[in-house]
Structure 1
Amino acid sequence: MRILIAPDKFAGTMSAAEAADAISDGWRRARPGDTAVTLPLADGGPGFIDVLDRALPGATRRTVDVLDPLGRPVEADYLREGDTAYVESAAACGLHLLDPAERDPLRATSYGLGLLLSHAIEDGARRLVVGLGGSATNDAGAGMLTALGCVFRDAAGEPLPYGGAGLALAHSVEWHPRTRGVEFVAASDVDSPLLGPQGATHVFGPQKGADPRRVALLEQALGHFAEVVEEQVAMPGAASEPGAGAAGGLGFALFLLGGRRESGARLTCDAVGLDAEIAAADLVVSGEGSFDSQSLRGKLAAEVASGAAAHGTPCLVMAGRSDLASHPDLAGVHSVAELVGGPEAAMAAPVEGLTALAEKVAGEWRE
């Protein structure tokens, strides 16, 4: 058989390329006669630029100096192809840039992403595709917008402090973004609104270091900020748009700049020619760190499964852990945690665990 192995990253443990190699190695141990083709993918989060760099031979990679979520110097890359720049938000404000003890969305800022976008604009880019995902921030993109020339002030006329907590003080907006003539695309892996039970804070805040008290504070702060900004920028309803809550509210900020949302998974799948690769395969294997209800809301594995179903090609998902036992477009869902005895064991030896899982699944597979 010809096996197409097309996973996303396993967040915190493996890149998409490393996961693809682990699955390929395990599969070939059990079925050495099969042809395994690896196609690492991304849905807008970490790895977005790496995938596009391999898929777009005419693009050039550029490295610039920006700031991380706590204002420290860090280098970040973007990809330039013609007048389009592909930017990965996590490169400047990603969770991976902070130690676990440093994670605090009350303080973390997306200012560094604004610097990264400014570099691309000053370099001549007129279309910016911004991959959203994996952020350490929950500031509704206020830091990013500040770096692009906007000023948010409190009732005393002072600029707001950086981070999600300061949004509660918002009173007035000086809306002069240095983005005239620039088209923005929010390449989002989720369709969450900014606020509410399915919004940025409640769904993603805890993984960024927000305990229940901080979640409540952030939700209130973002709600106040959105109300002030929507009124003064004349963008009513922006916070309710699908994808506004992506990456701690960066989707909301991009919508304020006139941007539109596109599926990050679909964008990368189209760029790498996934449809043609599926058509040539007898079996498709995708994967990600956690396959759960969020996976069904625009994430990579669900996108791959949908594409395989359209061709009538069976598709499997191999995940670090899974809350979903099945999916209509899948021939099977398998997890490393179930094989090795739990999530902690799976995290302790991720490559070995995924390789062993692939070997087991391949040995049991019946064409």
Structure 2
Amino acid sequence: MAGVRVLIAPDKFAGTLSAVEAAEAIAEGWRRQAPGDEVLTAPMSDGGPGFIDVLHAALGGELQAVTVTGPLGEPTPATLLLHERTAYVESAQACGLALVPADRRDPEAATTYGVGELLRAALDAGVRRVVVGLGGSGTNDGGAGLLAAMGAVADPPTALTGGPRALADLTRLDVRAARERLAGVELLVASDVDNPLLGLRGATNVFGPQKGLRRERLVVVDAALARLADLADRRLADAKGAGAAGGLGYALLLLGGRRVPGIDTVAQAVGLPEKARNVDLVLTGEGSFDFQSASGKVVSGVATVAARALRPCVVLAGQVHVGAREMRAMGVESAYSVVDLVGEKEALGRPRESLAALAERVARTWSR
């Protein structure tokens, strides 16, 4: 009897495994139990950390090393992916929360200047299209730093580069030079977040606390971003995705960018729909399978692709916090937890081996 054809398309397991590593671990465990099955890997990303690694694994292309300004102003190594006159930029490499040690987190001072430097390097490479992946940021400056790096002019000149605390002093903003740098270049903003820039659903109130913003400072920081929007384009502050990555989405939309769902961008780049049609079973996964997984994340995106291909989708996660009803609503047949199998200490201490062990166990049920 022919083996099962399996497509493995996980997200990263935040803090333990990249998407590429997770896919390899699942494939390894599956093959141990079902060596006759045909296993295909397609690591995924929603635009956040791992965006470049996933696309490079799928597309090839040229990696270009760039040193940029990190969120705290320190020189930080980053990488562009150049492929067929398109540049892919991972904003988290220049302003990611992972770049800021927990004891130094100050999102009121953190800058996105380095993302603007990455964008400049992409334009210097002569590309006709730039895709910027958003997610995992440690900043909340509305993309002010990016605007400065791209040539925007402000009074005082330092108001754009010192985080939202400096934005409180902003009295004038002119972004024409920044827009002109992008003339003739298509700018796509790949994000899984559709929040606006301001208000209760905005960048500051929804995502600020997880970056270290104190509750009593949320109103002050939101007002600083409102000042930026009032001097640039207040209407765009309400656009879907303007609040992504601490408002970095707003700055990119201001420069003429067009928002596209991050998961869809990666799915098309790696040919996920076609691959799903050519297998019997689709596996995906992430560190925590929870209520947030339903909103534009990798798991829900892969499940949607699997459903369109009329293929069952199964989730392997570090932890599962979703009930059967919510799972089915997402298009997921079953979900399995690493922690439930081996315990939290083992799952965190030996993540690759633990995920492989879970895949081996799941294969007993889902392989012939």
The residue correspondences of 1:26-41 to structure 2 (distance < 5 A) are 26-41=29-44
Distance in 2, matches of 1:32 and 1:103, equals 47
Q: Which residue identity does 1:359 align to in structure 2?
A: E
- How many angstroms does 1:340 deviate by? 4.1
- In 2 relative to 1, CA 338–192 (structure 1 residues): closer, same or farther, beyond 3 Å? farther
Q: Secondary structure at the match of 2:119?
A: helix
The residue correspondences of 1:31-110 to structure 2 (distance < 5 A) are 31-57=34-60, 59-110=61-112
- In 2 relative to 1, CA 161–278 (structure 1 residues): closer, same or farther, beyond 3 Å? closer
Distance in 2, matches of 1:322 and 1:198, equals 26
Distance in 2, matches of 1:305 and 1:291, equals 13
- Residue equivalent to 2:268: 270
- How many angstroms does 1:345 deviate by? 5.9
Q: Secondary structure at the match of 2:79?
A: strand
2:259 paired residue among 258, 261, 278: 261
- Residue equivalent to 1:318: 316
Distance in 2, matches of 1:316 and 1:103, equals 37
1:280 paired residue among 278, 281, 288: 278
Distance in 2, matches of 1:292 and 1:196, equals 25
- Residue equivalent to 1:196: 199
Q: Which residue identity does 1:349 align to in structure 2?
A: R
2:143 paired residue among 141, 144, 151: 141
Please list the CA deviations of residues 136-161 of structure 1 after superposition, one character each: whole Å capped at 9, or x if unmatched: 1111100000000113335xx86455
Distance in 2, matches of 1:5 and 1:225, equals 43
2:214 paired residue among 211, 214, 238: 211
- Residue equivalent to 2:224: 221
1:238 paired residue among 236, 239, 251: 236
Please list the CA deviations of residues 79-128 of structure 1 after superposition, one character each: whole Å capped at 9, or x if unmatched: 22343211111121112222222222111110011111111212322321
- How many angstroms does 1:166 deviate by? 2.2
Q: Structure 2 stretches of 5 or more lacking a match?
A: none
Does the CA-based 8 Å contact 1:160-1:169 persist in structure 2? no
Distance in 2, matches of 1:313 and 1:243, equals 30
- In 2 relative to 1, CA 331–225 (structure 1 residues): closer, same or farther, beyond 3 Å? same
Q: Which residue identity does 2:230 align to in structure 1?
A: E
Q: Secondary structure at the match of 1:74?
A: strand
- In 2 relative to 1, CA 296–237 (structure 1 residues): closer, same or farther, beyond 3 Å? farther
Greater mean alpha carbon deviation, residues 109-118 or residues 330-339:
330-339
Does the CA-based 8 Å contact 2:148-2:161 persist in structure 1? no
1:362 equivalent to 2:360? Answer no
TM-score (norm 2): 0.90
Distance in 1, matches of 2:112 and 2:252, equals 12
- Residue equivalent to 1:112: 114
| Number of corresponding residues | 358
Distance in 2, matches of 1:91 and 1:153, equals 28
- Residue equivalent to 1:179: 182
TM-score (norm 1): 0.90
Greater mean alpha carbon deviation, residues 82-91 or residues 304-313:
82-91
Does the CA-based 8 Å contact 1:150-1:174 persist in structure 2? yes
Q: Structure 1 stretches of 5 or more lacking a match?
A: 231-235
Distance in 2, matches of 1:225 and 1:241, equals 15
- How many angstroms does 1:270 deviate by? 1.0
Does the CA-based 8 Å contact 1:148-1:179 persist in structure 2? no
Distance in 2, matches of 1:140 and 1:97, equals 18
Give the percent of matched residue pairs that are identical in Structure 1 and Structure 2: 51
Distance in 1, matches of 2:44 and 2:93, equals 17
Distance in 1, matches of 2:202 and 2:291, equals 14
Greater mean alpha carbon deviation, residues 275-284 or residues 216-225:
216-225
- How many angstroms does 1:133 deviate by? 1.0
- How many angstroms does 1:303 deviate by? 1.0
- Residue equivalent to 1:7: 10
Q: Secondary structure at the match of 1:69?
A: coil
The residue correspondences of 1:155-174 to structure 2 (distance < 5 A) are 159-174=159-174
Distance in 2, matches of 1:196 and 1:335, equals 36
Q: Which residue identity does 1:135 align to in structure 2?
A: S
- Residue equivalent to 1:233: none
- In 2 relative to 1, CA 248–158 (structure 1 residues): closer, same or farther, beyond 3 Å? closer
Greater mean alpha carbon deviation, residues 211-220 or residues 84-93:
211-220
Does the CA-based 8 Å contact 2:137-2:246 persist in structure 1? yes
Does the CA-based 8 Å contact 1:151-1:159 persist in structure 2? no
Distance in 2, matches of 1:273 and 1:61, equals 21
- How many angstroms does 1:294 deviate by? 2.6
